Amino acid sequence: MRGISMLYRDQYGNTWVAASVRALRERIGGGRVSKMYDDGPDGEIRHIGYVVGPHWCRAYLPYAGAAE
């Protein structure tokens, strides 16, 4: 992430914009953070987002919306 604002969307349809994992965790309201992975079409494993507490947040980058 390194300071780039990214859009995150969880399994419930909630969205957040954050430039760091710490900011994402604070916006969600805390909880344990783990990386989330998925298999790509070529069979390679890819890091696609984070699990923060009960929220499975998929990352979409970069986000060119409103400033943080």
pLDDT band at 49 (very low <50, low <70, confident <90, very high): very high
pLDDT digits (tens, 9 = 90+) for 6-32: 999 999 999 999 999 999 999 999 999
Give the residue from 2, 60, 5, 46 showing the smallest Cα distance to 27.
5
Mean pLDDT of 32-40: 95
- pLDDT for 44 equals 93
Segments of 1-68 assigned E as strands: 6-9, 15-18, 33-39, 45-52, 55-60
Measured between its terminal Cα atoms, the distance across the chain in Å is 14
* Per-domain boundaries in the chain: 6-60
pLDDT band at 48 (very low <50, low <70, confident <90, very high): very high
- pLDDT for 15 equals 95
